[in-house]
Chains A and B, each alone.
Chain A
Amino acid sequence: MKLFNPCKKKEIPGFHGGFNLLETYPIRFCNVIEKVSSDVAPKQFVFNSPQQKVEQVIVNLCPTEPWALPNWVTLGHDTSSFLDKLASLRAQCFPAARIAIAISEKEGKHITEAIKYAGNTNWMTAHPLNPKYPQNDPVVLSKVVLHAEVEFGTDTTTQGILILDAQTIAAAYESNVLGNKVNSRFIAISGTGLKENEIIRVELGTTIGKLLEGRSKANGAHRVFVNGPLCGREVTDLSQEIDWSVNNIVVLEALNVKVMFPMIKQEEMSFTTNILGEVRQCVYCNFCDDICPMDLEPALYYHSYTRGEGHKARSYNLGKCIECGLCSFICPSKLELLQTIKACKALD
């Protein structure tokens, strides 16, 4: 089947499909702003090492979404000092674990340093990865890096796999090794609804409304998403507090009006919540199964579901779906494939 494939470069085994969001939506963060304080006493970050024995730790240094917090904020230009912190954290919290560094292949300097560092130890490996979405999903990450099968929706720590990002490691080092209190974290805010894309150090417990105050554009309808518009959640109540799980906040123009001559305005329209087309019937274009990172055929679920045979979808490997949302994202007929999949999963 792979006789002739002109567009693709060498692929990482076990993962084809996916989509390079970083090239499609280039977002640049320029300034780092120090600390927006909450009015109340900030909450503390606590790092609990899991109950089960940790056999493998995957350090996720491979952000695949352009709006996610970039690595340089935590790592700076000094990878080896970060890895030193990681080593002392390992010695204290999970001494028996092997550590795999999953790092974006675009970051050449960090990779060479990580590989050099890993060469001197017997417990660390470095894996350069292609930063296409959803490479950093827990299921895909453990499949590509460790060749371990993890079921979607289950906690990976039950299988002895702990997945950490750079900032969590830095904070855990501060709190568990050095004994300092950590009560703030970096958050990337970006999107067409904001005046500028910024990285802000926020005290835990600050409300989203306070964070975005004076930063969003005045005109037009905006929608706020936590952890990205692709697989994150929409926030309508801006009095929600920011906790450690918030990595980034994206504010997008809603663009709920008709735009004249959309064909010559594609760039300004692309990063909005408009569906950029009209809802049509499925034309069987195969875009969804080309892009699916888990080798599924989302249109099959859609057709099963619309024919009232949603229970059949489960026999078509529905359980493997990681709900990354790429099928709905790419669909030229603008069908709500992810919603259909969730509905099929809920049927039982």
Chain B
Amino acid sequence: MKKIPQPIERMLDKTFDRMESFVHSHKKVNFLFGALFSAFDGLLRSSKDTAATQPFIRNNYDVKRFMGAVLVALVIGWVFPAIYFYGWQCVISKLIVSFIIGVFVVDVLWAVIAREEHISEGGFVSCLLVPAILPPQAPLWLVGLGAALAIIFRNVLGGVGHNLVNPAIFSRLFLTICFPSFLVMGYQAPFTGMPDLHSLRYGLDAITHATPLTAFKANGEVASFFSLLMGTSGGSLGESCRILLILTGLWLVKLKVVNWRVPLSYLGSVFVFSLFFSLILGKSVAPPIFQLMSGGLILGAFFMATDPVTNAYSQSAKWIVGIGCGFVTVLIRDFTTLSEGVMYSILLMNLLSVPIQSLMVKIRYRS
């Protein structure tokens, strides 16, 4: 890796030291900017804590790298394909709004008001997920509101490590209830073919376009699997390019950031249950492969249901939660008027994971 010249490094280090002593010596400055400074400091410098008790060496892997891996996977998995399909003007503006409102306004304000000691990097993941699960034509204020809701909700419950349900999905549920028209109507046809400067900036002209699942609900039309896999069939901003989502998800599995049990049990149970229902009910319900490849299932299975905080802790409970997610998803897709059920299934199983976890502990340690 490239080395940073020694003098510059030493100068930066001294500057940071001076800033740190300035922030800590002025009470009001510390009150307002202490958390912000320590977050920025933590990005560029290591902590100076040493292990006080056994074991005296620690593994070189911390929560920052954990979250960083998810961020990299999400950028490759949905930001790049979304720029290709809908143009950077649509995607980047939403990301900027989401990050500024979610992380730099709400999280920083919260740190000041609630006197938190540090700003968690988990906010970046939530704010990167919020635009991904909204339609491409969602207005910017909706994205900003979603990001703000997600972060407020997470912080009210006690921050990363205490949130009961996935904050990004919770904020989408809230937006679905308050502004249903924006979330039902805002889907547009993605750009396909050789990209040029115009398409990379604007995408196609905004024509509303049904998602594959609503098209199936309306007239039983099954989109081609290739278009679903490549993402040329439309949908929410971040859910469409499934091949990249699967690849980055598998990369996270390899890094052990994502527990392989959850996507396997989720996708497997969606396949099994939808196969079961389509064998009984025939063509009135969606066929299994189509169900696997459509909607937000891949994004949800690899990036949202696997959120370790909201999922159950025990390995065996993770199987149950994954299977439950799959079952509820298929039930909602097949038997209700709603076309997509991933959001509700993950929310429901996030809530149920607490009793499932305590039940599994009781079963495992019964004596």
Say whether, besides A258-B13, A258-B47, A262-B46, A277 and B54 are in contact (CB < 8 Å): no
- With an 8 A cutoff between CB atoms, is B288 at the interface? no
C-alpha spacing A317/B41, complex, angstroms: 41
C-alpha spacing A336/B57, complex, angstroms: 12
Question: Which of these binds chain B: A80-88, A118-126, A154-162, A227-235?
Answer: A227-235
Shortest Cβ gap from B367 to chain A (Å): 7
Question: Which of these binds chain A: B169-177, B290-298, B312-320?
Answer: B312-320
Interface residues of B in 6-49 (CB under 8 A from A): 9, 12-13, 16-17, 41-42, 44-49
C-alpha spacing A19/B82, complex, angstroms: 40
Question: Which of these binds chain B: A27-35, A239-247, A324-332?
Answer: A324-332
Main secondary structure of the interface of B (DSSP, over half): loop
- With an 8 A cutoff between CB atoms, is B115 at the interface? no
Shortest Cβ gap from B272 to chain A (Å): 15
Of chain B, the residue at the smallest CB distance from A325 is B55
- With an 8 A cutoff between CB atoms, is A294 at the interface? no
A286 surroundings in chain B (CB, below 8 A): 259, 308, 313, 315
A49 surroundings in chain B (CB, below 8 A): none
Say whether, besides A278-B118, A332-B65, A270 and B60 are in contact (CB < 8 Å): yes
Shortest Cβ gap from B14 to chain A (Å): 10
Pull 27 A–B residue pairs with CB atoms less than 8 Å apart, ordered by A.
Answer: A1-B315, A4-B260, A223-B50, A233-B54, A254-B50, A255-B50, A258-B17, A259-B46, A260-B44, A261-B9, A261-B45, A262-B45, A269-B46, A274-B49, A274-B50, A275-B58, A277-B46, A283-B66, A284-B309, A297-B313, A329-B57, A329-B59, A331-B59, A332-B65, A332-B66, A333-B63, A336-B53
B61 surroundings in chain A (CB, below 8 A): 276-277, 330, 332
- With an 8 A cutoff between CB atoms, is A281 at the interface? yes
A44 surroundings in chain B (CB, below 8 A): none
Query: Chain A: interface residue count, which band?
Result: 35 or more
State whether B56 touches A278 (Cβ < 8 A): no
State whether B12 touches A280 (Cβ < 8 A): no
- With an 8 A cutoff between CB atoms, is B218 at the interface? no
State whether B56 touches A260 (Cβ < 8 A): no
B314 surroundings in chain A (CB, below 8 A): 297
- Identify 19 new A-B residue pairs, CB closer than 8 A, beyond the known A272-B57, A274-B58: A229-B57, A230-B55, A230-B56, A234-B56, A258-B46, A259-B45, A264-B4, A276-B58, A276-B59, A278-B42, A278-B118, A280-B120, A282-B161, A315-B367, A325-B55, A332-B62, A332-B66, A334-B58, A339-B54
State whether B365 touches A260 (Cβ < 8 A): no
C-alpha spacing A128/B88, complex, angstroms: 58
- With an 8 A cutoff between CB atoms, is B51 at the interface? yes
Interface residue tally for chain B (C-beta within 8 Å)? 55
- With an 8 A cutoff between CB atoms, is A285 at the interface? yes
- With an 8 A cutoff between CB atoms, is A89 at the interface? no
Contact among B58, B60, B259, B365 for A317, CB-based, below 8 A: B365
- With an 8 A cutoff between CB atoms, is A338 at the interface? yes
Interface residues of A in 271-330 (CB under 8 A from B): 271-287, 289-290, 297, 299-300, 315-317, 325-326, 328-330
State whether B44 touches A261 (Cβ < 8 A): yes
Shortest Cβ gap from A281 to chain B (Å): 3
C-alpha spacing A338/B52, complex, angstroms: 12
Per-residue A-contact encoding for B58-74, CB less than 8 Å = 1, 0 else: 11111111100000000
Say whether, besides A283-B309, A317-B365, A269 and B60 are in contact (CB < 8 Å): yes
C-alpha spacing A223/B257, complex, angstroms: 33
B59 surroundings in chain A (CB, below 8 A): 276, 329-332
Of chain B, the residue at the smallest CB distance from A25 is B57
State whether A285 touches B308 (Cβ < 8 A): yes
- With an 8 A cutoff between CB atoms, is A173 at the interface? no
C-alpha spacing A266/B58, complex, angstroms: 12
Contact among B42, B58, B159, B256 for A328, CB-based, below 8 A: B58
Shortest Cβ gap from A145 to chain B (Å): 25
